[in-house]
Homo-oligomer: A and B are copies of this chain.
Amino acid sequence: MSDAGVLGIRRATDADWPALWAIMEPVVRVGETYCWDTCLSEAQARTEWLAPADRTMCVFVAEETPGPGSVGAAVGAVVGTAQLHANRAGGGSHVANASFMVAGNAGGRGVGRLLARHVLAEAREQGYRAMQFNAVVETNTRAVRLWQSLGFRTLATAPGAFRHPAEGFVGLHIMFREL
């Protein structure tokens, strides 16, 4: 991510998939933060992230466009992605759920926070009354701190509910905030 770049959020399109998969694949393979099979295929990942069967699903990308002082490619680079959808159907459909991924080489630059603020605003606009994260790995402290700073509280931690490849059995936080 160039210092001169300008970060923006827009809806994802099918054309973004290769860039999204480049961000997702390392996250999937290492298996430290998401409850996904580490051998998930690209096709499965695409269905999982873009979820065409879920009519409530919105997918966003964080894109860096070259700033006025920057030199080089004029095309934006996708540096993060988020999905927003109803956490449950029917009587539970007024609570949103969201997931986030940031490119490994773009960490620590506020991409996750920008995506999260956008998704929270979008969820409010869509009429959701709350947002719930069902499975935040407790060792993913960067994510936990980000959600706390954005008003989420940990309702509970399911003990040992995640088998971390390095840390062994660790808890999964259920995090929640009203909108």
Contacts and interface: CB of A to CB of B under 8 A. Distances in A.
A91 B163 contact: yes
A90 interface: yes
A120 interface: no
Contact of A155 (B36, B95, B129, B174): B174
A41 to B, nearest CB: 13
Contacts of A134: 134
Interface string A23-67: 000000001101111101000000000000000000000000000
Contacts of A32: 91
Count of identical protomers in the assembly: 2
A164 B90 CA distance: 10
Given A174-B155, A174-B174, A130 B90 contact: no
A77 interface: no
Given A134-B134, A174-B155, A37 B89 contact: yes
Given A88-B161, A91-B165, A129-B160, 14 more contacts: A37-B89, A38-B90, A91-B163, A92-B161, A130-B159, A130-B160, A132-B158, A155-B155, A155-B156, A155-B157, A156-B174, A158-B176, A159-B176, A174-B174
